[in-house]
Amino acid sequence: MIAGKPTLTDLLDWVEGRLSAERSDQVSAYVDSADPATAETLDWIRSFLQDARSMPLVQPPAALSARLRGVFVGLHSPEQDSEWTDAALLYDTRLGLTAAGVRSADDGVHLAFASELGRFVLDASPAGPGEVDIHGLIMLDEGGATGVDLAFLQAGSLRRAARATKDGRIDVRGVPIDVDELWLTSERTRVRARLDLQGS
């Protein structure tokens, strides 16, 4: 008998035949016990796989593919590019660097930066355990590019990626609170900003 309830990954691998013979027998034994929650999960997995396989695959436009490849290379090989610059922190409400219209730190972390892209502000508010929702605005310098890719990292590892709207608005949900750096890229302009979201 299986020593404990199989995980979602176990069940998915079991349905798709990726488990070892011994592990497959263990999961099968648990499934045969007719546990209602497991049966419901299996129904969902099979339905999802059926729907996924029936969806037609569409080749993305060449321009989009090229942009995504460029973003991926830039995110994973920043040391190979000498064009990265550092954003300067203008204010942090936790440090008492307040200005008119800036809220107090008891409802989140509020930061403002200056960079080669232009000024940008970030509001991080508590979300789920260990997570924050980040809203903000990038005020691009006049004549600047209209698209900005965002990458939130923790100890050099990518944790979240997003793209600002055409008018520079940022809306990223469920960002791990331990991220410590934000990378912003727009065409050839690449900016890094140190982050500390603890206390949000």
Provide the pLDDT for residue 45: 87
Strands 169-176 and 109-114 come out as: unpaired
Between CA 147 and CA 67 the distance in angstroms is 11
Provide the pLDDT for residue 142: 60
- Confidence class of residue 102 from pLDDT cuts 50, 70 and 90? very low
Provide the pLDDT for residue 96: 59
Provide the pLDDT for residue 103: 41
Provide the pLDDT for residue 144: 52
Percentage of the chain modeled with pLDDT above 70: 76
CB-CB contact of 191 with 184 (8 Å): yes
CB count within 10 Å of CB 125 equals 13
Q: What is the pTM of this model?
A: 0.57
* Averaged confidence pLDDT in the chain: 79
CA atoms within 13 A on the CB side of 102: 19
Question: Comparing 6-20, 21-35, 69-83, which segment has the lowest mean pLDDT?
Answer: 69-83
Question: Comparing 127-136, 144-153, 182-191, which segment has the lowest mean pLDDT?
Answer: 144-153
- Confidence class of residue 114 from pLDDT cuts 50, 70 and 90? very high
Domain ranges of the chain: 8-54, 62-194
Provide the pLDDT for residue 175: 92
Provide the pLDDT for residue 113: 93
